[in-house]
A and B are shown apart, each in its own frame.
Chain A
Amino acid sequence: MGELAIWITIFLSGLVTFYLRYSFIGFSHRVQTPIWFRQALRFVPAAVLSALVCKALVFYGGHYQLSLTNERLLAGLVAAGVAYRTKNVLWTTVVGMLVLWGLQAVLHG
């Protein structure tokens, strides 16, 4: 991504985010959100975040990394265990990074 494209992306993302927050506060306090929207919203975090995680574990640097020496996948599986038990962002990230660095040292060091 070029520098200009990055800046434009940042500004547009900010604009969209503000618009979402301002939507009902700014334009109407009588309209209700439709039911299907509320139903869909319930699944947004689980679906989107899981998609981001799973892709990042098996596909990076431009290709699939489906070997047993894929240290991101291995570290990710350990971190998933921590995430499942603690549901804590900090612990999951710290443990996952430490396992990744350990594996990198063993496999490539």
Chain B
Amino acid sequence: MELSPDETQAAESRRAASEGVKDVWPSLLGVVPFGLITGAAGTGAGLSVLQTVTSSVLLFAGASQLAAYQLMGAGSPLLVIVLTVAVVNLRYVMYSASLAQYLVGWKPWWKVMGAYILVDQLYALSLHRFREPHLSRPLPRWVYYITGSLLTWLVWQVAVLVGAWLGAKVPPSWSLDFAIPLSFMAMVFAAIRDRPTALAALAGGVVAMFAATLPYNLGLIVASLAGIGVGMGLERRQHG
């Protein structure tokens, strides 16, 4: 028996939803502790639970949230914080560019939702899955993408809320704000893949230490640019 186009689409969408759940749940095991740490670091840096959760809903990007909390705790000016968040989140421009070609035929509000909720895991999963035939049309693609990302979003926000609430009960003498640089450490070593990235990390770190007294916490921006510059320079030299 032949299925009508509508029935095919409905069947593909049901399959897409269950695949979205199945693909994303292993990564949720990592989302929970990272969300708890992020929430606790927010209140640990001096933000209220409401401010921590609001920032988490608006940004939905863990590393940049942590960077913002650290800078707010250190009393950095608004512009430096927003600029740092932008630099930490620059990779989303890249995701956006490479995902856009697969979203042809999406309704405008699907694109707005999809962009807001774009994270590393769903970007990687979608890029891999959208080549499969049953995920070649707009609706099943949308269903797959939004099921996986909504699940990630929900788990993340609940974890941040619980972490922020627990963090607010802990006295400042516990130094919970120190969880922020600690959580970045593992990310630094994960980001070091070869000599150029290692030297980018080294240059960024050393310049940040020496530039710590620059006004408005600008040392951070200077150090980041220095690290990126050293990495790019070294790579150019290696490849001619």
- Where the two chains meet, the residues of A that have a C-beta atom closer than 8 Å to any C-beta of B are 1, 5-18, 20-26, 28-29, 31-33, 36-60, 64, 72, 75-76, 79-80, 82-84, 86-93, 96-97, 100-101, 104
- A89-B186, A100-B175 known; A9+B97 contact, CB < 8 A: no
Contact B92 A46 (CB under 8 A): no
**B223 lies within 8 A of A47 (CB):** yes
**Sample of 5 more A-B contacts, CB < 8 Å, known A29-B104, A33-B93:** A13-B81, A44-B87, A48-B84, A58-B212, A72-B178
B185–A16 CB distance below 8 A = no
Do B94 and A41 touch (CB < 8 A)? Answer: yes
The answer, among A20, A56, A76, for a CB contact under 8 Å with B93, is: A20
Known: A44-B88, A46-B201, A56-B181. A51 touches B187 (CB 8 A): no
Docked-complex contact B58 and A49, CB < 8 angstroms: no
Secondary structure of the B side of the interface?
Answer: helix
Query: In the complex, which of the residues A12, A33, A50 has the most CB atoms of chain B within 10 Å of its own CB atom?
Result: A50
Nearest 8 interchain pairs by C-beta: A47-B227, A14-B58, A54-B205, A43-B231, A51-B208, A47-B204, A29-B100, A56-B181
- Residues A55 and B208 in contact, CB atoms below 8 Å apart: yes
Given contacts A28-B100, A52-B208, contact A13 B111 (CB under 8 A): no
22 contacts between A and B (CB under 8 A): A11-B58, A15-B58, A23-B92, A25-B96, A25-B115, A36-B232, A37-B93, A37-B94, A39-B232, A45-B188, A47-B227, A50-B184, A51-B220, A51-B227, A58-B209, A80-B185, A80-B189, A83-B188, A83-B189, A89-B186, A89-B187, A104-B173
Give residues in B with beta carbon < 8 Å to A: 30, 33-34, 37, 47, 51, 54-55, 58-61, 63-64, 67-68, 70, 72, 74-75, 78, 81-82, 84-97, 99-101, 103-104, 111-112, 114-116, 118, 173-176, 178-192, 196-198, 200-209, 212-213, 219-220, 223-228, 230-232, 235
Docked Cα-Cα span, A83 to B196, in Å, equals 19
Whether B205 pairs with A53 at a CB distance below 8 angstroms is: yes
- Which of A26, A41, A59 interacts with B115 by CB under 8 Å? A26
Query: Given A32-B97, A47-B203, A47-B223, do A52 and B111 touch, yes or no (CB 8 Å)?
Result: no
